[in-house]
Structure 1
Amino acid sequence: MYPDMLSWGRGSRILEVFLEPTCPFSVKAFNKFDQLLSEAGEDNLTLKIRLQSQPWHLFSGVIVRCILAAATLPDGKASAKAVLNAVAQHRELFEFEHHATGPNRDATPNDIIRRIEQYSGLALMKAFANVELEHAIKWQCKYARQNGVHVSPTFMVDGLIVPAMSSGDSVGCWLETIGLAPVR
C-alpha cells in the first residue's frame, strides 16, 4: 500500500515545508502548522509536508520510514501526523547528543520503532516492512534534490523556495510572506 500524501487544506496557495523530524528547527516549524492552517483558512492554503532525511541526524532514515509507514495505515495522513508529533514532543529520545554520542548509540532501529509506537499509539512494525515504502522514500529524496533543498526546514511557496522564511518566524509573518491575510 502506498502512503497518503502529507497534505492539509485545499487552497490554491501551496506551501511545502521540507522537514527532518528530529531537527529542532523543523520541530519548531511543525508545531506551528495547525495554527497556520487555522489562521490562513483551509480553503486558502494547502500545506504539504515533505520529509528531508539528513544523515547527521543518525536515525533520520528510520524515522522518515516510520512516518511514511504510518501514512499507509487506515487513517493515513492523520497517523503520519501522530508519528511526527510523537517524535517532535520526545525529540531527545530519537536523537544523538551532538549528533554522535549518548544513550541512543546503543539503540537499534527496532528500539526506535517501538518508541515511536509507544508515543504515537500506533502499531508500525508490519507497516515499516512494506516494500513499497522504498519508492515513497526515494520520491521524497528526489523531490527535495530537484528543488535544491539541502537543509530543514526549507519553505517552498507555489513551487519556489523562499529562503526568507524561517522556523523562528511567527505565523503572522509566514502568512505575510505567503501572501495571505488571516481569516477572521
Structure 2
Amino acid sequence: MALPPKFAGQRLIPTKGAGASSFPSQPLHTVEIFLDYVCPFSAKIYNTLYTSLFPALAADPSGLGSKLQFIFRHQVQPWHPSSTLTHEAGLAVQRLAPTKFWDFSAALFKDQKAYFDVSLVNETRNETYKRLAKLASQSVGVAEKEVYELLTIPTEAADDGSLNVGNAMTNDLKVVIKMARLVSVHVSPTVIFDGVVAGDVSSSWTVEQWLEFLKKSTA
C-alpha cells in the first residue's frame, strides 16, 4: 500500500549508518489505477491518462509530475473470461520488456473489442494467446514466440498427471489478484490516491479535471 508523503517519517530505508539520511527527501504521491483490459470504462480512463495527462504532467512548469508516481494495477474481472487472458499477456510483456508495458497496455485497450465475449466465443484459449502474442509483436516489438511461450497451455497432462497446469504467468497473475483483493477493489476503474480510494475520480474526467484534482491533492 502507498504511503502518503506527509507520513514519510514512518518509512526508513535500511542502509549502513541508517539515520536521518535514510529518509527519502522527496517522497512521491502514489496514484494506483485498477484497470481491466476488457472494460470499456478502463479503456476510456487509460486513454486520457496515456495520451493527455502524462504528457501534460511532463510539461507542467510547476513540476507537478515530479511529485507523482502512477502504478498500473491489474483488475481481473472473472465475468469477462478473456480478462484473465489479456492480463496474462500484459504480465508477459512486463516480464520480457518492462519499459514497454504501458505502451502495450495502450495497444490492448485500443484493440479491446477483439477480446470481448462475442469476439472469441468460438476461439480456443491458445488461439487467443496467439493473437495476443502477435499484438505484442506488432505493437511494441516484443518477440511473438517468447510471449506465446509464456502464455500457452500444454495440451497434455504433466508428468504427475496434473491437468490444471496453468501457464508461465499463472503465479504472477495470482499475485496481482491478491493485491486487488487486499484493498477490496471491485469496480473498474478504481483510483487509489496515497492509499485511499478516490471515489470522486471518473473515467469521464478531462485532462483539466485530472490536473485540478492532482494539484489540490498534492498541495
| TM-score for both structures, normalised by structure 2 | 0.68
**Structure 2 partner of 1:94:** 115
Give the residue type in structure 1 aligned to 2:80. H
Map of 2:98 onto structure 1? 76
Residues 102-150 of structure 1, C-alpha deviations (whole Å, 9 max, x = no match): 3411112222222222333132112326966333212211111111200
- Residue 46 of structure 2 corresponds to 30
Q: Which moved more, 1:125-134 or 1:85-94?
A: 125-134
In structure 2, C-alpha distance between the alignment counterparts of 1:66 and 1:13, rounded to whole Å: 28
Q: Which residue is 2:209 aligned to?
A: 173
Higher gyration radius (CA): 2
Aligned-partner Cα distance in 2 for 1:140–1:154: 15
Seen in structure 2, the aligned counterparts of structure 1 residues 131 and 93 have a Cα distance that, compared at 3 Å, is: closer
Structure 2 counterpart of 1:92, one-letter code: K
Q: Which stretches of structure 1, 4 residues or longer, exceed 4 Å deviation after superposition?
A: 129-132
Q: CA 1:158–1:88 in structure 2 vs 1: closer, same or farther (change >3 Å)? A: same
Aligned length: 165
Task: Tell me the distance in 1 between the aligned counterparts of 2:74 and 2:119.
Answer: 25
d(CA) in 1 for partners of 2:216, 2:130: 40
Root-mean-square deviation (CA, aligned residues, Å) is 2.3
Identity %: 26
Listed as ranges, the matches of 1:13-24 within 5 Å are 13-24=29-40
Equivalent position of 2:200 in the other structure: 164
Q: Which has the higher contact order (CA 8 A, sep 6+)?
A: 1
Matched with 2:175 is 139
- CA distance in 1 between counterparts of 2:127 and 2:27 reads 39
Q: CA deviation at 1:11?
A: 7.2
Change (3 A) 1:72 1:103: closer
Structure 2 match to 1:126: 149
Structure with bigger helix share is 2
Q: Distance in 2 between matches of 1:120 and 1:66?
A: 8
Superposition deviation, residue 180 in structure 1: 5.6
Q: TM-score, normalised by structure 1?
A: 0.80
